[in-house]
Chains A and B, each alone.
Chain A
Amino acid sequence: METVTLTIKDQPGLYLEADNITPDAFAGKKAEEIADLHVYVGREQYRLGDFFEVSGKAGATAEETKIVVNGDLSRVKYIGMKMTGGEVVVNGNADMYVGAWMQGGKITVNGNVDSFAGTGMKGGEMVINGNAGNYLGAAYRGDWRGMAGGKITVTGNAGSDLGTFMTGGEIVVGGDVDVHVATHAEGGKIVIKGNAKRRLGGQMVEGEIYVFGNIDVMMPGFAYREDVDIDSDGIKGRFALYEGDLGERHRKRKGQPIYAKLYQRIAA
C-alpha cells in the first residue's frame, strides 16, 4: 500500500469542497498530479495543491492507496466521499459529509466530524475517535434510503437524526446521542453505549436499537414486551425489549406484523 500525505497549509476563506480527497481519485497518480485535482471554494475552482502540501504517491488502485490528511480540516467538506476502497486517516477535526455515500475501504478520523458523515453509506468502515454531528449515517434530503451497509463507530457523542431512513449496516456510539434516532428506519442496527434523549425509533418499521443508558422519554408507539438476556457482539447483559413503532405500517410474516426492536439495558 502506498501513502499520500496531505497537510493543509492555507485555510480557505469560505469552505473547501474537496470531494476529490479519496483513494479512488488519487489512485495511479503522482504527487503533482494529485495536487492538480480540483477543489471548490464557493463557485470558484482551485487546485488541491493550492491548499495542501502533497507528498508521497498513490498506489495503482484505490485498494492500494492510503491517504493521511493532517491539520485543521474543520473547513474541509466531503473527505472520503463515495470512496470504494483503500484507506483515509484524518488527523484533526473535519467538516461535513465525511465518508458520505462511501462504498468500501476504511476512514479513521482522529478528531470530531460535523454533520452528514456517512450519509447514504453503503459499505466500508468509518471510525470517528471524537464526536459526530447530526445526521450520522442518515439519508440525504428527500432520499428514502439512509445508510444501507458498512459500519460506523463513534467513540464520543453523536448529534440528532442519527440513522434516519437507515436500511442496513451498523452504527455504534460510545457516548450519548441527541433526539431522533432511526426515524423511518427499515433495517440496520444502532448501539448507543451512553444515554439517549427522546424520539428513539419514531416511525421506525424494522431494525434494532440498543441503549445502555437512560432514555428521557420513550415513544408512545413502543410497547414493552419482555426482559431478555443478550450476549453477542459486545452487547452483554439484561435488556428490556420494546417493539414498535405501533403507529407505523409494518410488513407481515406468517400473518404476524414484524416490528422494530428497541432494547434498553436494565440497571444491574
Chain B
Amino acid sequence: MTKTVTDVICPFCGTLCDDLEVVVSDDGKELHEVYNACAIGAEKFLHSQAKDRITRPRMRQEDGTWKEISYDEAVEYTARMLADAKKPLMYGWSSTNCEAQSIGSEIGEAVGAVMDNTATVCHGTSLIAVQDIGIPSCTLGEVKNRADRILFWGCNPAHAHPRHMSRYSIFPRGFFTGKGHKGRKVIVVDPRPTDTASLADIHLQIEQGHDYELLDALRVAFKGEKLPDFVGGIPKEKIYEVAETLKSGRFAIIFFGMGVTQSIGKNHNIDEAIAVTRDLNEYTKAAIMPMRGHYNVTGSGQVWGWQFGFPFAVDLSRGFARYNPGETTSNDLLRRDEVDAVFVLGSDPGAHFPFSSVKKIYDRPSVAIDPHETPTTEVCKVHVPVAFVGVEVGGCAYRMDNVPIETRKVVEPPEGMMTDEEFLQRVLARVKEIKGV
C-alpha cells in the first residue's frame, strides 16, 4: 500500500512551490511518485531513490580511488582541516536548511573562515546593489494578486523556474487580477528569443551587454528627456513605449536574472534597475525581485545577514566580519591563492566555477558534503554524503521573495545516514575540542 503526502515543498529552485503531492510507501521508506512539480523538481525527489546512491563517507587515496570511511573519520578530517588552516573557505550553503547554515556559521566563527554562498556567482551582485541603494520589493503573493505589468530582464523562467509564471507571475488569476494573463502586459528584455520571450507582449531584443544603458534610457524616458536614436540596438520610440506601458500599469514588477547580474556591469545593472523601480513609484506602484536560483540561497543570505550583517562573502578570519566582494568572494580568493583549505556544502562549485578555481580546490585539503556525486565531490579529498534536505529531513528555507517556508520530510533517508545539521554539529563540537574553547 502507499500513502500520499500533500502540501509538500519543492527543494529545488527559489520558487519553492508548496503544493506538491508525493506518493510514498506505507513504511515511509520508498518514494514512488511526485505530482504537481515541474520536471526538474520531480527529478530532485526521485533522485533520492537512486539505487547506486552513495551512503557512506569516502576518502580519496593516493592512487585516486575512493576508500570508504566512517562518519567519525569524516568529522575528524573536516574538523582538523578547518582548525589547521590559516584561512579556510566555507562555500555553498544554498541547498540546505537555515538550521544547518546557522551551525555552519558557528564553525566559521570558531575557525576564522571566509563564509560564502552561491550568490557569489549568481545574485551576489544584486545584494551589493541593494546595499548601495536599497530595494523596493514585495512578495510573490502580491505579484499574483496585483501585478499587471510584468518585466522579465535577463532571465528565462520558462526553463530556470518552470512554475514561476503559472503560479505567480503571468498566468494566475488573483484578487485584483481576475483576467489572468489577459489582464497583464508582459515585457521581456533578452538578447535571445527565449521561450519566456515568446510569451511577451513586447520583447526588447537588446544587444548583449547594453542593459545598463537601456535601464538608464528608461529613466531618461520617464522624465520626458531626449534620448539618442538607438540604445543597445533598441529604437528610442520603443523605449518611450515601454516607459509608458510601465507607467500606465497599476502595479509593475521587474524580475531579473543572471543575464544582468553576471554580464558586464554586474551590480551596476541591478543598481540601475532598482533606480528604475524607484522612479516608477512616482507614477504607480512598482517592485523588483531577483529570480533566486537554489531553493535556499536566499535563506543563507538571511542567516548571515542576521548573524554577521552581510549576506555573502563574509571574511571572519580576523575575528570580526568583513565583506568586500572582489576580495572576499570565493573565486577571487581561489584565483589569488588567499585560502588554504576548502569546505563545500550544499552546492557544486566543481560544475559552476571557472576551471582555474576548481583546480585550486583540487590542490588543497578539501571536503564536499553532498547527497550526490558531483563534479565537486570528484575534486575534493573527502566526500560526505548526507540526507536530502526537503525530502529526507525538513527545515526552514527562504523563497526568492524572502518568505520563510518550512520544508517537509516525506521519506526516510537510507539507514545510518547523517543530515547536514548532525554532521555540522559533530564538526563544531570537535573543532571546539581541538581549539580548547
Contact = CB atoms under 8 A, between A and B. Distances in A.
Contacts of A144: 132
A17 interface: yes
B324 A141 contact: yes
A52 to B, nearest CB: 19
B223 A246 contact: yes
Contacts of A41: 86-87
A223 interface: yes
Interface in A114-145: 115-116, 134-135, 140-142, 144
A116 B325 CA distance: 11
Nearest to B86: A42
Interface residues of A, number: 36
A220 B217 contact: yes
Nearest to B214: A220
Contacts of B214: 220
B212 A14 contact: no
Interface in B157-180: none
A96 B326 CA distance: 10
A166 B272 CA distance: 17
Nearest to A183: B268
B223 A141 contact: no
A179 B86 contact: no
Contact of A247 (B86, B210, B220, B268): B220
A203 B128 contact: no
A71 interface: no
Interface in A244-262: 245-248
A215 interface: no
Contacts of A247: 216-220, 222-223, 225, 275, 279
SS of A interface (majority): loop
Contacts of B216: 202-203, 219-221, 245, 247
A260 to B, nearest CB: 13
A217 interface: yes
Given A14-B86, A42-B86, A179-B264, A96 B112 contact: no
B363 interface: no
Given A180-B268, A202-B216, A142 B132 contact: yes
Contacts of B112: 42-43
Interface in A203-248: 203, 217-221, 223, 245-248
Contacts of A248: 219, 275
A199 B226 CA distance: 18
Interface string B74-102: 00000000000111000000000000000
B317 interface: yes
Contacts of A202: 212, 216, 268, 272
Contacts of B268: 180, 183, 199, 202
Contacts of B111: 43
Contact of B271 (A13, A203, A217): A203
Contacts of B272: 202-203
A141 B213 contact: no
A223 B212 CA distance: 17
Nearest to B215: A247
A141 B265 contact: no
A140 B264 CA distance: 20
B134 to A, nearest CB: 11
Interface string A90-111: 0000001000000000000000
A179 B340 CA distance: 32
A135 B318 CA distance: 23
A246 B223 CA distance: 8
B337 A141 contact: no
Nearest to A45: B318
A199 B86 contact: no
Contact of B219 (A14, A44, A218, A221): A221
Interface in A8-61: 13-15, 17, 40-44
A96 B86 CA distance: 19
Contacts of A142: 131-132, 323
B142 interface: no
A134 B319 CA distance: 27
Contact of A96 (B87, B223, B225, B327): B327
A199 B319 contact: no
B326 A115 contact: yes
A140 B325 CA distance: 10
A180 B186 CA distance: 30
B264 A14 contact: no
Nearest to B309: A142
B327 A203 contact: no
A220 B220 CA distance: 8
Contacts of A43: 86-87, 111-112, 317-319
Nearest to B276: A247
A144 B128 CA distance: 12
Interface in B216-262: 216-220, 222-223, 225-228, 231
A141 B220 contact: no
A116 B111 CA distance: 27
Contacts of B132: 142, 144, 184
B339 interface: yes
A38 B217 CA distance: 51
Contacts of A221: 216-217, 219-220
Q: Among A15, A40, A219, A246, find the residue whose CB has the most chain B CB atoms closer than 10 A.
A: A246
Contacts of A183: 268, 271
B265 A180 contact: yes
B30 interface: no
Q: Among A17, A135, A203, A217, find the residue whose CB has the most chain B CB atoms closer than 10 A.
A: A203
28 contacts: A14-B337, A15-B336, A17-B318, A40-B318, A42-B86, A42-B112, A42-B317, A43-B318, A115-B326, A134-B326, A141-B131, A141-B324, A179-B264, A180-B265, A184-B271, A202-B212, A217-B210, A219-B216, A220-B213, A220-B227, A221-B217, A246-B223, A246-B225, A247-B216, A247-B223, A247-B225, A247-B275, A248-B275
Interface of B: 85-87, 111-112, 128, 131-132, 210, 212-214, 216-220, 222-223, 225-228, 231, 264-265, 268, 271-272, 275, 279, 317-319, 323-327, 336-340
Given A14-B86, A116-B324, A247-B279, 11 more contacts: A40-B318, A42-B112, A115-B326, A141-B325, A142-B131, A183-B268, A183-B271, A203-B271, A246-B219, A247-B223, A247-B225
The 3 A-B pairs with the shortest beta carbon distances in the complex, nearest first, are A247-B219, A42-B86, A42-B87
